[in-house]
Amino acid sequence: MSENFIKRIVSSLVLIPFITFAIIDGSYLFYFFLIICFLLALQEWNKMSNNFYIKFFGIFFLLFSFYSFHQIRFTIDNEYMTLFFIIIICISTDVGGYAFGKIFKGIKLTKISPNKTYSGVIGGYLLSLISAGIFFTMTNISPSNDYFYSTFLITIFLSTVSQVGDIIISYFKRKLNLKNSGNIIPGHGGILDRIDGMIFVFPIFYLLIKFGIYI
């Protein structure tokens, strides 16, 4: 077992309970968590982008992404459960993609991120669908009356957005020959390394809710 893997496990065991409590708490701790994550993401993005217009657009996008995170927590039904659903889908997509890519390998998905494969994409979809099914069964929350159909569609859609977001952030890291966006989280890298997919999923999900496309 590598030292980096041990660091990843330890940091996850520390961070997951804190993040979970902060989201459920929804008060000062939540805002502290939100502001710290935003500032760290901003600092990493500033390092990753060397074009003024791209840098400016990225800052605006991060603002809207974290705003969406806040709005989902406080302005829609089921409050933090919806946030947990989105986070679970993004993490499952990431883990499924990594595991299937390592096990089955196969054709590379893109030159932007050489470790990503088509088998990884399938693995990301499969694990996210399994996780969504378990989540909705355990919480007794369904996205709509048509349980299976709506769960399948929203999960596949969010998983796709998460994977595209991952590739976009990888593109900017690769342009500057960076392995990670930062090193703030032992064993994981930077904040953007962990939330690359989520920062794209949150605003898109919020807009779907806002305009009544998904209820």
pLDDT, one tens digit per residue, over 102-139 is 888 888 888 787 778 899 999 999 999 999 989 888 88
H-assigned helices in 76-110: 80-104
Q: CA-to-CA distance for 75 and 95, rounded, in angstroms?
A: 29
Residue with more model confidence, 89 or 151: 89
108 beta partners: 117
Residue with more model confidence, 2 or 82: 82
pLDDT reading at 25 higher than 90: no
pLDDT value of residue 82: 87
pTM for this predicted structure: 0.89
pLDDT, one tens digit per residue, over 76-89 is 766 788 899 999 99
Domain-wise residue ranges, the chain: 3-210
Q: Are 162 and 201 in contact (CB under 8 A)?
A: yes
Q: CA-to-CA distance for 154 and 90, rounded, in angstroms?
A: 12
Q: Are 69 and 83 in contact (CB under 8 A)?
A: yes
How much is the average pLDDT of 10-24? 84
Q: What does DSSP assign to residue 211?
A: T
